[in-house]
Amino acid sequence: MVDDDLWALIEPLLPPWPEQAPGPRPVPDRLCLQGILYVLRNDIAWQLLPAELGFGSGQTCWRRLERWQRAGVFDRLHRILLAKLHAAGELDWSRACVDGSHVRAKKGGADTGPSPVDRRKRGSKHHLICDGRGTPLKVITTAANVNDVTQTLALVDGVPPVAGRPGRPRRRPEALLGDKGYDSNPNRDELRKRRILPVISRKGSPNVKGLGKLRYVVEQTFALLHQFKRLAVRWERRTELHNAFASLACSLICWRRLKKTSHDRATSSEHGHR
């Protein structure tokens, strides 16, 4: 089910249906969203979406996903939730972490290629940047054989401007942490131009002391993303539809953290008044 408070954020972002649209009355947006979430969490084929749940057919939900992605709904929702976390002081801009994770691409399509970690089977790679607490800021999907280092600046520059506090929206961490897969002097220079301190291990040298412990959050975030089973294996041939699921999953992770923060503060306030 879609939480009432979450639906209150999503509904204004959805493009309206034309009032004089021909054909039968469309399935309500909220029910279609529930169908999309069901597929995201359970990784079932669209045509196997249970009709008795009332979400409409799999084709209806798929078309709604496509329409909403074209309208930028999921990226806008992610940005709104990041702003709410920022306003609550729950984003750690002191550092950001980057990493990549391979997924099998069962049906091929754009941005797939031979996986170097899966016996050259066809796959994709998720490239992720998260804040110091593991909140996902941006996910990029590429072919599985794309090197991590090539996506460093795309991830950094892809972080949306995050409002929520007085002054200009925030989009740059103070430091960027990466393993030896991100070793590149030109990238270090570009990060410094963006006033970001590169904390990246060099190939052939010992790892930066304590880096593994600091970067643990990005591995945790990947684990959270891939709990959404539709992201653990890629089925969509079109990258933009796979990215729609990735952006929606990032939003749901942010939503859970926002709710936990609100619950913890309410509990603390309640104890304070006793």
pLDDT at 273: 57
Give the pLDDT of residue 40: 96
Read off φ and ψ for residue 129, nearest 5 degrees.
-120, 130
Q: Which helix (H) or strand (E) holds 125?
A: strand 122-131
Residue 24 is predicted with a pLDDT of 66
Check the CA dihedral 130-131-133-137 and report its sign.
Answer: negative
Given a cut of 70, whether residue 245 has pLDDT beyond it is: yes
φ, ψ for residue 10 (rounded to 5)?
-80, -40
Q: How many residues belong to the chain?
A: 274
The whole-angstrom separation of Cα 132 and Cα 127 is 16
Question: How do strand 122-131 and strand 113-114 relate by DSSP bridges?
Answer: antiparallel
Beta bridge partners of 9: none
Q: What is the mean pLDDT of residues 185-211?
A: 88
Domains annotated for the chain, with CATH where assigned, are 4-12+26-70 (no CATH), 92-234 (3.30.420)
The CA distance from 19 to 198, in Å, is: 53
Residue 232: the pLDDT is 95
Q: Is the pLDDT of residue 36 over 80?
A: yes
Q: Percent of the chain having pLDDT more than 70?
A: 93
Read off the amino acid at residue 226. Answer: H
Phi then psi for 241, rounded to 5 degrees? -75, -35
pLDDT single digits (tens) 135-151? 999 999 999 999 999 99
d(CA 147, CA 227): 24
Q: Please give the Cα distance from 209 to 214 (Å, whole number).
A: 10
Q: Give residue for tokens 């947006």.
A: 29
Burial 198-216 (b: 16+ CB within 10 A, else e): bbbbeeeeeebeebeeebe
pLDDT of residue 53: 83
Q: Reduced to 3 states, what is the DSSP secondary structure of residue 269?
A: helix
pLDDT at position 269 = 63
| Averaged pLDDT score across all residues of the chain | 91
pLDDT tens digits, 38-91:
999 999 999 998 888 888 788 999 999 999 999 999 999 999 999 999 999 999
Structure tokens at 223: 């684990």
Predicted structure pTM score: 0.92
